């Protein structure tokens, strides 16, 4: 067996072990009912697709009763992506769009006792509304595009709301341009994060729109957060500005003594045969005050 074949077998074994671990984590039992919110920070980032695929995955990987709620306004009906599953799809009345938390809460209370997991698609939400959505969710999935600036924006928001709500970042490679650098960036974020790629068959009208392996990772992250396994990291503290070091006090400039005093302190050694030499008086006094102002006399 060549070294390349051994490397391929090692990668295959590692991938199989990871998939098995993700499946076990996705099936962790939940002691209480949980609400999972999916909100987008950038329009066109695939929030509805992520929410539908997440509900589909949770329904297939678990024995829990899953409900999907569409609260993001007029859009293609989500039932098309949930056909053949046991997920019940609900949507708020068109008169309540854009849906607020109170309208969603009334719909949720009507039949919340019959479901263990509720996945709500909030769509693109303004920044002022994200905190309100987070307070009504046990887990909030922040969906953004896979560009670096968008990921940084989502990370800043997650740090602001991560004190009370567990946050999972979902970076969707909408334009299919994410490379190895983006993979490493997402994997090293201080919050649970998943890079999701669009399925190439999505444009051909396929029912499934996202990569299955990455959706398995996302489902495992969400269940970890809902079960309290993944401890939410503390927000990154803002470093206090360091005090400006004060310069040590400097001694006043030393003014040389007058030439006559210098002559009295250290008389020059003149040979007896040479005539005495009297030095010319030197300019040792400081300049007159305000000599640098215009019009001052020289």
pLDDT number for residue 271: 56
pLDDT number for residue 42: 83
For the chain, 298 residues long, the average pLDDT of each consecutive 10-residue run is: 56 71 84 90 87 89 88 63 81 71 79 82 85 88 92 91 86 87 90 81 50 83 84 46 62 57 53 55 48 47
pLDDT number for residue 248: 62
pLDDT number for residue 259: 52
pLDDT number for residue 277: 56
Enter the pTM of the model: 0.68
**Sheet with 34-40, side-by-side order of all strands:** 88-91, 66-70, 117-124, 34-40, 139-145, 166-173, 193-197
């Amino acid at each position: 067996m060549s070294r390349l074949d051994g490397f391929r077998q090692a990668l295959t074994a590692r991938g199989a072990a990871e998939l098995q671990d993700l499946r076990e984590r996705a099936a962790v039992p939940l002691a209480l009912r949980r609400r999972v919110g999916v909100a987008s920070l950038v329009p066109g980032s695939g929030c509805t697709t992520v929410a539908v695929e997440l509900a589909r995955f949770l329904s297939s990987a678990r024995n829990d009763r899953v409900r999907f709620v569409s609260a993001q306004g007029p859009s293609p009906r989500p039932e098309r992506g949930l056909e053949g599953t046991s997920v019940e799809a609900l949507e708020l009345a068109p008169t309540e769009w854009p849906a607020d938390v109170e309208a969603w809460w009334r719909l949720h209370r009507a039949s919340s006792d019959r479901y263990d997991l509720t996945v709500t698609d909030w769509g693109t939400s303004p920044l002022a509304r994200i905190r309100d959505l987070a307070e009504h969710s046990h887990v909030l999935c922040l969906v953004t595009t896979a560009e670096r600036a968008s990921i940084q924006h989502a990370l800043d928001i997650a740090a602001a709301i991560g004190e009370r709500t567990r946050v999972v970042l979902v970076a969707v490679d909408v334009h299919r341009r994410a490379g190895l650098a983006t993979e490493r960036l997402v994997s090293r974020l201080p919050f649970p994060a998943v890079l999701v790629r669009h399925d190439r068959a999505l444009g051909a009208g396929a029912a499934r729109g996202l990569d299955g392996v990455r959706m398995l990772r996302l489902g495992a992250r969400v269940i970890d957060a809902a079960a309290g396994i993944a401890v939410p990291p503390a927000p990154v503290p803002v470093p206090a500005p360091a005090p400006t070091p004060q310069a040590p006090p400097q001694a006043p400039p030393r003014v040389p003594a007058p030439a006559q005093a210098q002559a009295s302190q250290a008389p020059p050694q003149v040979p007896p045969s040479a005539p005495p030499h009297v030095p010319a008086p030197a300019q040792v006094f400081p300049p007159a005050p305000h000599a640098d102002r215009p019009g001052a006399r020289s």
